[in-house]
Chain A
């Protein structure tokens, strides 16, 4: 059974550009969450989607957005990139609505460097 797949794994962007990251959850999983990991701030929650609906959103500016498709695949987009957006972006998937319904699994992440 394939795990959570994130693409691309590594990318370099220039300030002001935008970026789209993709996440394919484990087959059958309907909940997808995104996290940003930086050395200074640690792991911070970005947003969560379940059945194509955003259920939760973290404390990030509107430049960060996401969506989920009918096949549960998810994308996140960051517009007008800033140097501080350089981070490891992690996607997590779980079977259903809450942690009591199944384990939350993470992908390998997408390393974004903004120059």
Chain B
């Protein structure tokens, strides 16, 4: 089974703090993704990476950056956390071809106070 591990399940941070959300996958996939999920808005793609050190903006990249130094690890960075970034963050990995799919981690609940 594919394993996608998000390092923190629950975090509480103060406004203005720098926040790191870590994600590790064990399937040697090239593609990795960060989504956020909010009530009434569903899942929205923040950033994705299709190779080490390669990244592309998703639908809502503002206020976020990412880092992919190793293939198995994809980090989401909030440079200066704000209350409107309180959300559930989901990391995913996989490829949409030949009957494959994208697999998700268990999510990280971030509260910014």
Instruction: Please determine whether chains A and B interact with each other in the same assembly.
Output: no
Chain B interfacial positions (CB closer than 8 Å to A): none
